[in-house]
Structure 1
Amino acid sequence: MIDQSITLAGKAGHEIAASVDGPELGLPVILAHGGGQTRRAWRAVAHRLASHGFRTIAVDMRGHGESAWASDGAYDISDFAADLVEIAAATASKPALIGASLGGLAGIIAEGKCAPGSFGSLTLVDVTPQMEPSGVARVVGFMAAHARDGFASVEEAAQVIADYLPHRPSRKASAGLAHYLRRKDDERFYWHWDPAFIERVTQQGGGVSSDHGRTELSAAAACLTLPVHLIRGGSSDLVSLEAVKHFQGLVPHMAYSDIANATHMVVGDENDAFGQSILEFLLGIHEAEMKS
């Protein structure tokens, strides 16, 4: 089966769009993207894992992509975490979870606080409890800048992204970018996620980088007993080496990979190296389960 679109139930039945790939009886791997992204970010990684026998489930987080928006503004980390717990509970066997940025933060809360034992392993992509406030502010600022007023064209959106990611080769607007935008009746293009999501983050003063956010995430991380893999972008401005050491103190058994030439956007910056790192960890941890 290849890249089949399905609808899953998150917290209180919240509709979550997903794509599945790989053998139906393969070990399930849930892929949770970062804020402002969609499940399309995982396409290459999902296909790689599926080709090695894993059953990948790439989700659109609530309020993103084709998943339902939260009419009540329920976009706290705990809401995203609860969705992941519900999705995990519906899989045939205990799944591995790979979470980038927002997805990783939700994974820490889901496994470390909400429902310990829900996952077989946890891979965190450039996210720890101690996020750099300046890096968080840069990401939030980028997302908030055009959340409500959108863009006059896909080309304008492409230029905004190029300015935000100057380290990447300049690209013209592509068909792929169009999947991250919605054209409304006013003929303008808007991000494929609910503006209320980023507004909730700004109301919380940056959320994860606030003192409360750091304390809650650190407490949850200290409770993680499952295999954990932290993947950091070598040039990340959100996860410093000091933050890595802090996380190692909370989770001494964790595995660690540093992807050279990658920023916080590890998946897009160095997809091949990232995918290989993911694959090696999962095969090493779950080899016995995959043979049973």
Structure 2
Amino acid sequence: MQEQSQPTLARSQHLEGVGGVRIAVDSWGQEDGPVVLFLHGGGQTRHSWKNAGADLAAAGAHAVSADLRGHGDSDWSPDGDYSLAVIRDDIISVLEQLGSPASLVGASMGGLTSLLVSHHRPDLVDRLVLVDVVPRIERSGAERITGFMRSAPQGFADLDEAADAIAAYLPHRRRPRSTDGLRKNLRQRQDGRWHWHWDPAMFTGSAHPDPSEVQAELEDAARALEVPTLLLQGALSDVVSDEGVEHFQSLVPHARVVRLRDAAHTAAADDNDAFTRAVTSFLLNT
């Protein structure tokens, strides 16, 4: 989907997370519209949602997209804590400052965060959209993501080299002719090399909860869901399998599932037309 004329330009600001960490957000549309908060996946930024944010605003929503701590223009965690629990509390703080319950749209790590927010503060959540993430994900797909995020610790000589790395990581997606969009995901340091704009302490920091305990907490949160819930599964995903979807449906029988035929784990970018149609219909037309 081509980016449409926006009713207003994106407004940028910082809101307060926990422990003094500032969370960067963009917003579109009228502030009295129903709030939709977009939360990106690991290694991404709030700019992943710019088309969807503009489209939802044009349909009448107050769309907000946040950089999770350690990503984009949000602060890095001073103590290296990037646990789902502290990210959850950041987003609860953001929702309290927005002053209205919201529909949460979360991809990957942002989706798991949304699930936990819905469990801990159901009063702040109207609807939930999980974008290619469930409590029981495929380990091989998750390891491929973290492997990519931990690659190139010395950065890239130029944006073309970074684009080549992304193309190898996402072979199903056509390599863009222009690399200008990567300037929002990388920063050029004084030595001239380009580095991913996320905190490496996400993999070396202080908080590393037991994975089995985290999964149990996510499953408990799913079982407790009462709000309308939509799961968007990328048909080409190596992170969410059909078995993972079936398990999620056993936990959340009222959940609606939409399979995006031409999308992988990065579903919103892979098939933006189908993604935006599904989200808009679920959030604003039902």
Question: Match for 2:285: what amino acid?
Answer: G
Structure 2 unaligned regions, length at least 5: 1-7
- Counterpart in 2 of 1:238? 239
- Counterpart in 2 of 1:64? 71
Q: Which of 121, 129, 139 matches 2:145?
A: 139
- In the alignment, is the contact (CA less than 8 A) between 2:106 and 2:112 conserved in 1? yes
* CA separation of 1:200 and 1:239: change in aligned 2, threshold 3 A: farther
CA displacement at 1:225 relative to structure 2: 1.2
- Counterpart in 1 of 2:196? 191
Taking the TM superposition and a 5 Å limit, the aligned residue runs for 1:118-197 are 118-146=124-152, 148-197=153-202
CA displacement at 1:186 relative to structure 2: 1.5
- Counterpart in 1 of 2:3? none
- Counterpart in 2 of 1:284? 285
Taking the TM superposition and a 5 Å limit, the aligned residue runs for 1:8-87 are 8-87=15-94
CA displacement at 1:71 relative to structure 2: 1.3
Rounded to whole Å, the distance in 2 between the matches of 1:268 and 1:116 is 29
CA displacement at 1:163 relative to structure 2: 0.5
* Length-normalised TM-score, structure 2: 0.93
CA displacement at 1:35 relative to structure 2: 0.5
Q: Number of paired residues?
A: 279
Question: Match for 1:123: what amino acid?
Answer: V
Question: Match for 2:198: what amino acid?
Answer: W
Question: Match for 2:245: what amino acid?
Answer: V
CA displacement at 1:197 relative to structure 2: 1.4
CA displacement at 1:198 relative to structure 2: 3.4
Tell me the SS of whatever aligns to 2:32.
coil
- In the alignment, is the contact (CA less than 8 A) between 2:155 and 2:195 conserved in 1? yes
Rounded to whole Å, the distance in 2 between the matches of 1:85 and 1:77 is 12
Rounded to whole Å, the distance in 2 between the matches of 1:174 and 1:187 is 16
CA displacement at 1:13 relative to structure 2: 3.7
- In the alignment, is the contact (CA less than 8 A) between 1:28 and 1:93 conserved in 2? yes
| Aligned-residue CA RMSD (Å) | 1.6
Q: Which of 13, 38, 42 matches 1:6?
A: 13
Rounded to whole Å, the distance in 2 between the matches of 1:167 and 1:235 is 9
CA displacement at 1:79 relative to structure 2: 1.1
Rounded to whole Å, the distance in 2 between the matches of 1:81 and 1:121 is 16
Rounded to whole Å, the distance in 1 between the matches of 2:76 and 2:195 is 15
Rounded to whole Å, the distance in 2 between the matches of 1:20 and 1:211 is 36
- Counterpart in 1 of 2:218? 217
Rounded to whole Å, the distance in 1 between the matches of 2:113 and 2:92 is 10
- Counterpart in 2 of 1:247? 248
* Length-normalised TM-score, structure 1: 0.91
Rounded to whole Å, the distance in 1 between the matches of 2:204 and 2:243 is 29
Question: Match for 2:275: what amino acid?
Answer: F
Question: Match for 1:221: what amino acid?
Answer: A
Tell me the SS of whatever aligns to 2:90.
helix
Deviations 1:35-61 (A, max 9, x none): 100111001100100001100110111
